[in-house]
Chains A and B, each alone.
Chain A
Amino acid sequence: KNEVEQSPQNLTAQEGEFITINCSYSVGISALHWLQQHPGGGIVSLFMLSSGKKKHGRLIATINIQEKHSSLHITASHPRDSAVYICATKGSDKLIFGTGTRLQVFP
């Protein structure tokens, strides 16, 4: 079992839909990152959070430390949100990356 599990692996949506991507982890962490990998391959850091919730534009990230679970939500999804979303946990000494969720948003 991977230490960081993401679900779903693939997700398709119609423009305007509310999107949820989940990340579960099995080790104690001090922080969790959400990253976005564009179709061209570039990776952008979206959020780093260690508790509660963070919001940036239409993106919302939440984390429940007790349940070892984080979610990334996208409101009013748009085709430009199509990308791979990756969560990564920060343990005692290194980051552990999930395999990513591939999101496609169709007009």
Chain B
Amino acid sequence: NAGVTQTPKFRVLKTGQSMTLLCAQDMNHEYMYWYRQDPGMGLRLIHYSVGEGTTAKGEVPDGYNVSRLKKQNFLLGLESAAPSQTSVYFCASSSFYGGLTNYGYTFGSGTRLTVV
């Protein structure tokens, strides 16, 4: 079982460049999430999706866009990268919103993004 797969694992971007982070899950989970993790701060929700074709804003959505065209995939896009978007990005999925099951969340392994 692959669980949640994130690609790429590392990326360096120049300010103003664009990129897409891909998250794929094979557990048939309805809910998917994108978080960013910064030093000294807890994980913060960027965007989330409650099902195929739906997306919603989280705490820190500015500068990011997302799409969920297929149930198993959740894409995070940066249209014009800024140094403030240097972070580690985690994708997660769950069968209920907020992971309110005994199984909680399943996380991807993270993408370390540096914007110079």
Residues on A facing B (Cβ under 8 Å): 2, 4, 30-31, 33, 35, 40-45, 47-48, 86, 88, 90, 93-100
Contact A94 B98 (CB under 8 A): yes
A-B contacts, CB under 8 A, total: 63
A-B contact pairs, 28 of them (CB 8 A): A2-B42, A31-B100, A33-B105, A35-B104, A35-B105, A35-B107, A40-B109, A41-B109, A42-B107, A43-B90, A43-B105, A43-B107, A43-B110, A45-B106, A48-B101, A48-B102, A48-B103, A90-B100, A93-B98, A94-B45, A94-B98, A95-B45, A96-B42, A97-B42, A97-B43, A97-B44, A99-B40, A100-B42
Cross-chain contact of B110 among A42, A44, A86, A96 (Cβ < 8 A): A42
Chief secondary structure at chain B's binding surface: loop
- Please indicate the chain B residues that have their CB under 8 angstroms from the CB of A30 in the complex: 100
Cross-chain contact of B42 among A40, A42, A86, A93 (Cβ < 8 A): A86
Given A41-B88, A45-B103, do A31 and B98 touch, yes or no (CB 8 Å)? yes
Least Cβ–Cβ distance between A49 and chain B, in angstroms: 9
- Interface status of B99 (Cβ within 8 A of chain A): yes
- Interface status of B2 (Cβ within 8 A of chain A): no
Contact A33 B88 (CB under 8 A): no
Contact A42 B109 (CB under 8 A): yes
- Please indicate the chain B residues that have their CB under 8 angstroms from the CB of A43 in the complex: 90, 92, 105, 107, 110
- Interface status of B58 (Cβ within 8 A of chain A): yes
Least Cβ–Cβ distance between B47 and chain A, in angstroms: 12
Q: How far is the CA of A2 from the CA of B99 in the complex (A)?
A: 21
Given A4-B42, A90-B99, do A45 and B105 touch, yes or no (CB 8 Å)? yes
- Please indicate the chain B residues that have their CB under 8 angstroms from the CB of A90 in the complex: 98-100
Least Cβ–Cβ distance between B44 and chain A, in angstroms: 8
Q: How far is the CA of A2 from the CA of B41 in the complex (A)?
A: 10
